[in-house]
């Protein structure tokens, strides 16, 4: 009797271990960024988030009005800044047109069709943000029906914030740059003067300092605080020239062989309401 019970207990332990392993495998598979949502998931997610979005509309309206009222006293200062900038706009416009013409001619010469830097824009609202707390994601109200595809870059008016990882019919999930996923290293460049760039790799995010870490920069390169950091367009995910932030701190590694640069984003990742998706026209 005792022996039989012992054997039964052993079976129970084995079954529990097998089920736990299978479940962990399932969790691991389901959380993978490369997993596509199935039809059932898409339908439930769409239905749930439509309700969420509908309720958000009046709340967003009130929130926008409050923000508007708060920023009203700064209008005169903004006007002064903008009128100064406006004087330069015509000159820049002429330069821009000239550059566009030049690029077009060069492309014709090199027989290039479209590059990764050519994108169209799609604005979206944030429906919810990182409810699980550990995921560094947010859900936006544009999906495959609006032309959104996996791996498209997502920006705000202050710079890059992340990429699309999951697409449903009417909403998508954005993985933020603040996520320390080792598989999502981004090729970046630091503008050291008018024409020169230094290339590096964005490898992670320092939660404590709220800065991005860039590695792979030679020790003999001079990098100063305030230099702009943008994407290079290498790696087929992010188009080139998207602002990531400005250099905040430069330090050398333990062996004095390479520099590590801390970059501060201009985006407030804790409070994002509206975003823009860069819809790539074509990749070549």
Residue of the chain from 212, 227, 238, 269 that contacts other proteins (CB under 8 A): 269
Question: What binding mask, one character per residue, do residues 1-40 give for other proteins by CB under 8 A, x or -?
Answer: ----------------------xx-xxxxxx-----x---
> One symbol per residue from 202 to 231: x for binding other proteins (CB under 8 A), - otherwise; what is it?
-----x------------------------
166 in contact with other proteins (CB under 8 A): yes
266 interacts with other proteins by CB under 8 A: no
List residues bridging with 162 in a β-sheet: 154, 176
Binder to other proteins among 133, 194, 222, 256 (CB under 8 A)?
133
| Nearest approach, Cβ of residue 45 and other proteins (Å) | 6
Among positions 99, 120, 123, 180, the unique one binding other proteins when judged by CB under 8 A: 180
- For the beta carbon of residue 277, count every other beta carbon within 10 angstroms: 25
Could you write out the DSSP letters of every residue in the chain? Answer: -HHHHHHHHHHHHHHHHHHHHHHHHHHHHHH-TTPPP-HHHHHHHHHHHHHHHHHHHHHHHHHHHHHHHHHGGGHHHHHHHHHHHHHHHHHHHHHHHHHHHHHHHHHHHHT----TT-EEEEEEEEEEE-TTSSS-EEEES--GGGT--TT-EEEETTEEEEEEEEE-SS-EEEEETTS--TT--EEEEEE-SSS-EEEEEEEEEETTTTEEEEEEEETTS---TT-EEEE--TTSSSPTT-EEEEEEEEEE-TTSSEEEEEEE-SS-TT---EEEEEEES---
Among 14, 17, 18, 63, contact with other proteins (rule: CB under 8 A): 63
Asked if 195 touches other proteins (CB under 8 A), the answer is: no
Q: Please state the closest distance from residue 37 (CB atom) to other proteins, in A.
A: 8
Q: How far is the CB of 61 from other proteins (least distance, A)?
A: 13
Q: Which is nearer to other proteins, 48 or 233 (CB)?
A: 48
Give me the phi and psi of 91, to 5 degrees please.
Answer: -65, -45
Considering the rule CB under 8 A, would residue 61 count as an interface residue with other proteins? Answer: no
Beta bridge partners of 214: 202, 261
CB of 29 to other proteins, least distance (A): 8
Interface with other proteins, residue 154, by CB under 8 A: no
CB 130 within 8 A of CB 140: no
Strand partners, 247: 263
Figure out which of the listed residues 124, 127, 148, 278 binds other proteins, where binding follows CB under 8 A: 127
In whole angstroms, the minimum distance from the beta carbon of 179 to other proteins comes to 10
If one asks whether residue 57 binds other proteins (CB under 8 A), the answer comes out as no
Residue nearer to other proteins on the CB measure, 115 or 169: 169
Interaction site with other proteins (CB under 8 A): 23-24, 26-31, 37, 41, 44-45, 48-49, 51-52, 55-56, 59, 63, 126-135, 137, 166, 173, 180, 207, 269-271, 273
């Amino acid at each position: 009797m005792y022996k039989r019970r012992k054997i039964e207990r052993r079976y129970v332990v084995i079954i529990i271990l097998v089920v736990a392993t299978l479940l962990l495998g399932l969790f691991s598979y389901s959380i993978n960024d490369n997993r596509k949502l199935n039809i059932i998931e898409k339908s439930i997610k769409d239905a749930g988030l439509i309700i969420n979005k509908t309720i958000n509309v009046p709340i967003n309206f009130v929130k926008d009005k409050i923000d508007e009222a708060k920023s009203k006293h700064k209008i005169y200062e903004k006007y002064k800044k903008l009128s100064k900038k406006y004087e330069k706009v015509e000159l820049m416009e002429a330069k821009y047109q000239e550059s566009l013409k030049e690029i077009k001619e060069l492309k014709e010469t090199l027989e290039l069709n479209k590059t990764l830097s050519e994108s169209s824009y799609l604005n979206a609202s944030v429906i919810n943000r990182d409810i699980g707390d550990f995921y560094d994601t947010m859900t936006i109200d544009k999906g495959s029906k609006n032309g959104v595809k996996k791996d498209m870059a997502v920006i705000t008016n202050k710079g890059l914030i992340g990429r699309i990882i999951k697409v449903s019919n009417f909403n998508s999930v954005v993985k933020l740059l603040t996520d320390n996923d080792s598989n999502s290293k981004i090729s970046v460049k630091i503008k050291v003067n008018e024409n020169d760039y230094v290339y590096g790799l964005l490898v992670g995010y320092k939660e404590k300092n709220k800065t991005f870490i860039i590695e792979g920069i030679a020790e003999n390169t001079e990098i100063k605080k305030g230099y702009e950091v943008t994407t290079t367009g290498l790696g087929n995910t992010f188009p080139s020239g998207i602002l990531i932030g400005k250099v905040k701190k430069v330090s050398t590694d333990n062996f004095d062989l390479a520099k590590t640069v801390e970059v501060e984003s201009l985006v407030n990742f804790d409070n994002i309401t509206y975003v823009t998706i860069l819809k790539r026209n074509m990749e070549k």
